[in-house]
């Protein structure tokens, strides 16, 4: 649990940063995937 | 003016505006989340809340939208409503999965475990499983009308679990904290800086949901049209 305790104290700890990357990356990635499918459908 | 899910509503002005607005507000929300103070007990780990709560909220919003359009489909028998309900369910699953993922990563340092079968997590897992079942059912039925009707039934019945999941933290007190913003009483249990950061992110995620809903419904409309050609 020591590494987890570090997260609680340190604002620059990469753990939360990776959670953010995962969430925002997935949300925006899904949008890009939709736009890609839309453009593919349009070009047919 | 075009209805959501209609053939021409793909990359229309409203979708573009919604996308742009959600991205701009999301950037502000991101900044506010990083600028918000640490929690007394959880320290900087509380930052996960600014993405976890909006993702869970959009999951609920999506399944409520599914309920609405499932009912509309059964009343009007218009396939557009079925497409919107299916699009909303897909989005609900995406956002609920993100809420579960971020919740698990939040749970490990605060509770000591990634997952535990306590009421909120259990009702959320059931919610997720029901809407996965929604798509399993859709893929198992070939007749479009029967498929839409069966899916609408699942969309309506599945939504019963949304308020149960929301209220579970109050009805059966367990390890999961109660709502920071209690919609039943209007009480807020949060510092103002934290509240603003969270609400801005909730608005950003909600706008993004509506933008994606329009895109996904339009895509479904085009796919249906291509099948009929």
Q: Which DSSP symbol is given to A41? A: H
* pLDDT tens-digit series, residues B74-119: 999 999 999 999 999 999 999 999 999 999 988 988 888 899 999 9
Buried b (16+ CB within 10 A) or exposed e, A16-41: beebbeebeebbeebbeebbeebeeb
Judge whether residue B10 has pLDDT over 50: no
pTM value is: 0.89
Chain B interface, Cβ < 8 Å to A: 10-11, 19, 26, 30, 38, 42-45, 47-48, 51, 55, 94-95, 98, 101-102, 105-106, 108-109, 112, 205, 208, 211-212, 215-216, 218-219, 222-223, 226
Give this complex's ipTM: 0.82
Output the average pLDDT for chain A. Answer: 79
Dihedral (CA of B131, B208, B218, B79) sign: positive
- Partner residue facing B219 (CB), from A13, A15, A34: A34
B71's tokens: 């009912």
Q: Give the CA distances from residue B122 to residues A1, A26, B48, B165, B215, in Å, rounded to whole numbers and listed in that order.
A: 25, 24, 20, 8, 31
State how far the Cα of B80 lies from the Cα of B83, in Å rounded to an integer: 5
Min CA distance, A36 vs chain B (Å)?
Answer: 11
Reported as a single tens digit per residue, the pLDDT across B51-82 is: 999 999 999 999 999 999 999 999 999 999 99
The alpha carbon of A35 is separated from its chain's Cα centroid by a whole number of angstroms, namely 18
Better-predicted residue by pLDDT, B71 or A10: B71
**pLDDT on residue A6:** 63
Backbone angles phi, psi at B180, to 5 degrees: -70, -35
């Amino acid at each position: 649990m020591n590494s987890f305790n570090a997260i609680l104290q340190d604002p620059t700890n990469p753990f939360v940063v990776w959670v953010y990357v995962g969430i925002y990356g997935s949300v925006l990635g899904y949008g890009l995937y939709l736009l890609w499918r839309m453009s593919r459908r349009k070009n047919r | 003016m075009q209805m959501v899910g209609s053939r021409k509503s793909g990359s229309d002005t409203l979708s573009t505006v919604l996308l742009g607005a959600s991205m701009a507000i999301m950037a502000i929300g991101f900044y506010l989340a990083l600028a918000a103070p640490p929690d007394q007990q959880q320290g900087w780990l509380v930052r996960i809340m600014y993405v976890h709560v909006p993702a869970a909220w959009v999951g609920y919003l999506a399944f409520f939208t599914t309920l609405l359009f499932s009912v509309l489909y059964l009343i009007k028998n218009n396939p557009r409503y079925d497409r919107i309900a299916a699009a909303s369910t897909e989005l609900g699953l995406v956002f609920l999965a993100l809420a579960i993922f971020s919740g698990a990563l939040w749970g490990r340092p605060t509770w000591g475990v990634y997952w535990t079968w306590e009421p909120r997590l259990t009702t959320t897992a059931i919610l997720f499983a029901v809407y996965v079942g929604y798509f399993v059912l859709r893929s198992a039925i070939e007749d479009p009308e029967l498929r839409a009707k069966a899916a609408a039934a699942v969309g309506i019945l599945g939504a019963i679990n949304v308020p149960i999941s929301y209220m579970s933290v109050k009805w059966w007190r367990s390890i999961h904290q109660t709502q920071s913003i209690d919609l039943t009483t209007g009480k807020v249990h949060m510092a103002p800086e934290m509240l603003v950061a969270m609400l801005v992110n909730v608005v950003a995620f909600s706008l993004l949901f509506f933008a994606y809903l329009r895109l996904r419904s339009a895509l479904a409309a085009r796919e249906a049209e291509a099948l009929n050609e």
